[in-house]
Structure 1
């Protein structure tokens, strides 16, 4: 009842009422935008722009969907516009990031500086698996990426995603099937955690560099994803990965600053940005 009254006030132009409602899902919205654009400042700017545009248009809100879904629709369109000038990532983006860090002392030192700083520079393998999921999702066409993240990470229903993307039920289901297939294929061939022939050991290697006191094998065996690798099928392993990712807010973890500078290294390695600053 209180939320109904607050919504009525917001629709009538009460910015404090709207701010109260927006605050309920703002952290989730910002982390969602970060997963799409992979830049903290851009995620902050897009969250602010979403608030401004949503409040400006609040009188048009008809209640056909929840306010959260309606706001995510606005945010997604803004993120689309932002991403238009950027290319999709290739599955080897993290390989290029590793090569850059090892060949460029400035980049390597920047990562080490964050790792040894007081604050959010701690290394955690789970957080890097989340980082990896974000990177691999950026290999998808934007609509597949958005549909996948909304459904598998933020638990929006297919019907809500149809509203956000302004697409039919059949199209959204098709986007999800293709997105999951692509993600599963990439992980199966690249990830050493689930396939001994996988070419990518980055989360384990970084654990050794930035968390040397942690027994690497012990850390690995605590991960449900690793324990299930030999006995689970591809679909089950994908679900375990998304379960892990769901529990992580990439902007507010013990190693958020470290993962962010590694993300910047990746973006620099593929030519998306020129410097880590």
Structure 2
């Protein structure tokens, strides 16, 4: 957000704390795509993600008085969303069909967030590329769903939603060191998984088994 937008956000939050539903609805309009995208990437189910997104905003409105501004409002909202996802996850006791836990636990240094650049749009005019992109998005989602939930959450918030390590720590109520470890290990597992399907990746992202990150591609995050 630019400075004016941040000022607007602070005003809308203040009005929301006074019970102004219209003000909070404006916040929803801005943050709904972000919230839905994060929840969908965590669950992989459109309808469930839509329901939990709605529940998250209801919970946020009821609890907006507790927001003190110590972290970004986006991180605060995503903490509510990820908590609801975690509650849902525990209820259904979902387990990945193919665990990535057996892959290397080796840590890697913080590097460029290449995953967000792979989740792109804007090629719908080319049917062949669009088909390949859909296949790649499905592959990335499949890989995410096989990560341990805490690593998946950290990867989605950092590498797809673009939160800083500090914001991820605030959203997940974890220490900064824990967040760094989850992201590092999650990236390693994702890279190992995607290596099996490297022919689907853009040329600059055809990963090797080394820990080197490819250069970032231009592109936005898919909803």
Classify the TM-score, shorter chain: 0.7 to 0.9
Assess if the C-alpha contact under 8 Å between 2:56 and 2:80 holds in 1: yes
Correspondence 1:80-229 to 2 at 5 A: 80-84=86-90, 85-90=93-98, 124-188=131-195, 190-193=196-199, 225-227=202-204, 229=206
Assess if the C-alpha contact under 8 Å between 2:42 and 2:85 holds in 1: yes
Q: Distance in 1 between matches of 2:31 and 2:94?
A: 27
Q: Distance in 2 between matches of 1:231 and 1:165?
A: 31
3-state DSSP class of the match of 2:71? coil
Of 16, 24, 29, the residue aligned with 2:30 is: 24
TM value normalised by structure 1: 0.61
1:232 Cα offset (Å): 10
Assess if the C-alpha contact under 8 Å between 2:192 and 2:209 holds in 1: no
3-state DSSP class of the match of 1:236? coil
Q: What is the CA RMSD across the aligned residues, in angstroms?
A: 2.5
Q: Distance in 1 between matches of 2:176 and 2:207?
A: 35
1:191 Cα offset (Å): 1.1
1:182 Cα offset (Å): 1.0
Larger Cα Rg: Structure 1 or Structure 2?
Answer: 1
Q: Which runs of 4+ in 1 moved over 4 A?
A: 230-234, 243-246
Assess if the C-alpha contact under 8 Å between 1:129 and 1:245 holds in 2: no
1:13 Cα offset (Å): 1.1
Assess if the C-alpha contact under 8 Å between 1:153 and 1:246 holds in 2: no
In structure 2, the CA distance between the partners of 1:128 and 1:21, relative to structure 1 (3 Å rule), is same
3-state DSSP class of the match of 2:174? coil
TM value normalised by structure 2: 0.75
In structure 2, the CA distance between the partners of 1:186 and 1:244, relative to structure 1 (3 Å rule), is farther
1:70 Cα offset (Å): 0.6
The corresponding residue for 1:248 is 222
In structure 2, the CA distance between the partners of 1:236 and 1:155, relative to structure 1 (3 Å rule), is same
Assess if the C-alpha contact under 8 Å between 1:147 and 1:176 holds in 2: yes
1:89 Cα offset (Å): 3.6
Structure 1, unaligned stretches of length 5 or more? 93-121, 194-202, 204-222, 250-277
Q: Distance in 1 between matches of 2:209 and 2:48?
A: 38
Assess if the C-alpha contact under 8 Å between 1:7 and 1:17 holds in 2: yes
Figure out how many residues of one structure are paired with residues of the other and give that number.
187
Structure 2, unaligned stretches of length 5 or more? 1-6, 101-128
